[in-house]
Amino acid sequence: MGKRFSVFKLTVAAVALTAANILAAPKPLTVWIMPNGASPQETLEKRLDLFTKKTGIPTKVQVLDWGESWNRITQALSGQQEAPDVLQLGTTWIPYFASRKEIKPLNAELSSIHPEKFVPVSWNTTHIDGDTTIYSVPWFIDIRAILANKRILAEHGITKDLVSTYEGFTRAVRKINAKDEVLEDGAHVRGYAFPGKNDWNIPHNFAPWIWSNGGNFITKDSSGKWHANILSEETLLGISSYLHFILDTLVAPEALQTNTAQIAQQFNNGELAFIVSTSEIVMQTRIHGNQGGLSNARIGSDSVMVIPIPKGKTGSVSFIGGSNLAIPANNKRKEALDLLLFLTNDENLDAYTKQIGFLPPSRNVLKTWSEDENYRVLVRALETGKTYVAIPEWGDLEQLFGFMFSTIWEQMEIPSLYSEDKLYEIFKQYTVEIDKKLNYPTTNIMTAAEFKTAWNKVTETTEQQDTLGAPKDSTNEAVSDNMKKAPFVFIVVLILGFIFAFVRKRKK
């Protein structure tokens, strides 16, 4: 009996000790991220293992698909479901959640965050435009430049300098198209392509062409109020520059049926000489396919080259996006800040971004990255690149711009549907809708006649840029000559027909 009682006491003690250990064990810190890179969860967990070893606090990573992330995060931050301790937010999302006071202000922690270590274009995304309250810390930068297939460019004698301007870029695209190289699998090589109406990046795709010509999606009036800027001459010039890749058949109209992933796949297959894309492809070409990379794909053997966005009227301006880390406003755990600071220290920024292929936002880390020729181009582009305006309304505006450009592409898919009148109606409609989102009264909107004058002017500028120094296209020249001759030919045919009918009638 005594022995059994002893065993019972030992068992009770063991259970009690286990329970005590469970109760004493710290609750895991949870992190929500999106699918950054090839193996997002495993990649981050490797870094977080170091945090656990250092602090004894376990962590848990949850990966949200981009398609569901907005709704999941909105519900969590508004208290409808349990929120994480630290979460990834796209840079354009910060102002929205900050305006709702759903993410924690971090000004009291700036001495630990060290704002001076981040590049300005990235740090500017941490708060609302015009507000000094900081709500997030930069995690990585998504900067988009021209990615080029080295093999194709070398075979055509095309260098970086030759494609540094819009004119040079269009000449290079036309030259590659003219050769019509056919790969072993039967695919034809094209100079350039981009996704169309069904893409999730539509505004991002238009942005560099608009910004490089001095345009903007929205702008401030003299009193500091934001309003639509679609119908400014500079913005129209940027839009025209982009549309002319299709209008001049430099890009095949079928591309408008594709999305970003499909265009990237064509580039990876060696079917495209140029694309505008994220920097992650550069890193992927250095990683084997077994690890989610592209080193054994055609682009891996052809090799990739990074080139700045071709200069427009006002220079070369890349689109810059990315993601920051934030803490939910209702979070009470001081360890959440420790985790955020850990993930954004230089060592982790360097290690993590190398795995996912995006740029680190730290000045010191970028100095090291600049030793690589391709990344040097991207780092330099940060100096002239632009982000979207950091205002709470931007999420809604971006959706409107997506609808607007998608509607334009729909018109251009069928040439008979495309006209200046329809283009004007699209721009006019969305100017009104954008101003409405910004609580701005739309007044003195340009008339259809004024638009046609402006559009013809910028279109003429675009066509001059495109054809400057370009070899003459004999097909287009022949079509142009035939169009000039057409009225005279019609008159001659009409006269001959009349004579023939008259002579025939007399014979009867």
CA-atom Rg of the chain in angstroms: 29
Which residues contact residue 414 at a Cβ distance below 8 angstroms, ignoring those fewer than 6 apart?
none
Does residue 396 surpass a pLDDT of 80?
A: yes
Q: CA angle, corner 288, sides to 285 and 291, nearest 5?
A: 115
Residue 154: phi and psi, rounded to 5, are -65, -40
Q: What pLDDT does 487 receive?
A: 42
Q: What pLDDT does 12 receive?
A: 53
**CA-CA distance, 394 to 438, in Å (whole number)?**
9
Mean pLDDT of all residues in 102-118: 98
For the record, the structure tokens of 5 come out as 């009682």
Does residue 474 surpass a pLDDT of 60?
A: no
Q: What is the pTM of this model?
A: 0.86
What does the pLDDT look like over 226-238, one tens digit per residue?
999 999 999 999 9
Distances (CA, A) of 106 to 88, 211, 220, 316, 443: 15, 32, 28, 34, 40
Of residues 290 and 61, more confidently modeled: 61
What does the pLDDT look like over 432-442, one tens digit per residue?
999 999 999 99
Give the percent of the chain with pLDDT over 70: 86
Looking up tokens 């408008």, which residue turns up?
256
**CA-CA distance, 300 to 175, in Å (whole number)?**
23
Are the C-beta atoms of 114 and 362 separated by less than 8 Å?
Answer: no
Are the C-beta atoms of 204 and 398 separated by less than 8 Å?
Answer: no
Residue 274: phi and psi, rounded to 5, are -135, 145
User: Length of the chain, please?
Assistant: 508
Of residues 412 and 133, more confidently modeled: 133
What does the pLDDT look like over 324-382, one tens digit per residue?
999 999 999 999 999 999 999 999 999 999 999 999 999 999 999 999 999 999 999 99
**Coil, strand or helix: which one is 489?**
helix
DSSP 8-state symbol, 360: P
What does the pLDDT look like over 129-147, one tens digit per residue?
999 999 999 999 999 999 9
What does the pLDDT look like over 191-221, one tens digit per residue?
999 999 889 899 999 999 999 999 999 999 9
What does the pLDDT look like over 188-197, one tens digit per residue?
999 999 999 8
Which residues contact residue 498 at a Cβ distance below 8 angstroms, ignoring those fewer than 6 apart?
none
Residue by residue, DSSP assigns 201-239 as THHHHHHHHHHTTT--SEEE-TTS-EEE-TTSHHHHHHH
